[in-house]
Amino acid sequence: MTMAADPFVAQLDALDRRSRRRRLMPRAGRDFASNDYLGFAHDPVIAQAVADAVAQGVPVGSGGSRLLRGNAPEHESLEVRAAATFGSEAALFLANGFVANMAILAALPGPEDLIVADALIHASAHDGMKLCRARSVLAAHNDPQAFADAIAGWRAAGGTGRAWIVAETLYSMDGDIAPVAALAEVAARHEAMLVLDEAHATAVHGPAGRGLGAALEGQPHVIALHTCGKGLGVEGALVTAARPVIDLLVNRGRGFVFSTAPSPLMAVAVEAALERMAGADAERSALAGLIDHAAQHLCAPLGLPAPTSQILPVILGDDARTMRIAGALQDSGFDVRGIRPPTVPRGTARLRISLTLNVDASIVSALGEALRTALAEARA
């Protein structure tokens, strides 16, 4: 061991002592960990669209950034389809949701602006705010009045720029749904931009899976982020907004400008996934049924509140205990992962149970029994 490596080993040892060291794990057991909510990751229609594109000579690689030679017809076709699907003026395809969130917040707010973000917003939004020129503050989770108060206080102190409201529509670690209409009212009252991260709602919630902010799309002050690697089952992210917003991202969004473009084949896959999404009412109904089943057969016996979405947190608090129970469930054949700080606030370590169509009701019931056993053994 060289001296240069010692500080890194010490940091890893410190994470081990706090039960916070992360390790890559192979896929194993029944899926209660992925975000493949509708089971589209293995969808034969999407797979066939990619196979057809390969047969027609669509390249695997893009060969460069979109502003160089990487701009393929497949990217442009997808963006036209996405704008039409979500009801926006324009759309932009980026590599993933993390890059898209950073690009929006780092590039668009000006130095005189104020960003008010929900306290539980994605890490990518936090990183984007660190890179931007605007001032940023956090508002109490899902509290529209807290957003309004932050903007009013800033104005009273002499703030002259534009306010930005940033929220997820469905929170990835708590599974709760944002008061989208109330946030939109605050944005309208204060002439603020409204950025809605639909990552965990796209394909699953809203009319034809268009998200929980679907009714707001197309308004000039609304920007939506539709992640493609979750409910759509593929990869990448779509930002939908007014044309000037999209054009400014093309010019100033560093994660877009300086990144190699996504594979044209992935653009084909996303376009096929959007088509599947539009006709997936049966899948959405089946997932809703699975959520109702989990409420009765997993949550109720444990005294947990009924889930409001496909994301079901079981908050245990202690990091080590959380990881022990997650390990016990994995040993029993259920892929449930423990989530610890800093991903969630300190003292709220949890099991994040993700309900997808990769399992059925009987498997959800079996997980409930295994979880009750693991919790009882942990108390013994």
User: For residue 375, with 0-12 CB atoms within 10 Å meaning exposed, 13-18 middle and 19 or more buried, which class applies?
Assistant: middle
Cα(223)–Cα(94) distance, integer angstroms:
15
Helix (H) or strand (E) holding 76: helix 73-86
Cα(315)–Cα(268) distance, integer angstroms:
39
**Annotation marks residue 293 as catalytic:** no
Nearest Cα to 186, choosing from 142, 232, 151? 151
**Annotation marks residue 197 as catalytic:** yes
**Annotation marks residue 142 as catalytic:** no
Residue with tokens 């796209």: 202
User: For residue 1, with 0-12 CB atoms within 10 Å meaning exposed, 13-18 middle and 19 or more buried, which class applies?
Assistant: exposed
- Please tell me which residue in 190, 205, 226, 230 is annotated as part of the active site: 230
- Please tell me which residue in 172, 259, 263, 358 is annotated as part of the active site: 172
- Please tell me which residue in 168, 198, 271, 335 is annotated as part of the active site: 168
- Please tell me which residue in 190, 200, 205, 221 is annotated as part of the active site: 200
Nearest Cα to 25, choosing from 314, 369, 338? 338
Cα(297)–Cα(349) distance, integer angstroms:
23
**Annotation marks residue 358 as catalytic:** no
- Please tell me which residue in 43, 62, 118, 122 is annotated as part of the active site: 122
Nearest Cα to 252, choosing from 265, 271, 239? 239
User: Helix %, strand %, coil % for the chain, to 5?
Assistant: 45, 15, 40
**Annotation marks residue 168 as catalytic:** yes
**Annotation marks residue 200 as catalytic:** yes
- Please tell me which residue in 43, 79, 174, 197 is annotated as part of the active site: 197
**Annotation marks residue 275 as catalytic:** no
The residues carrying an active-site annotation are: 35, 122, 168, 172, 197, 200, 230
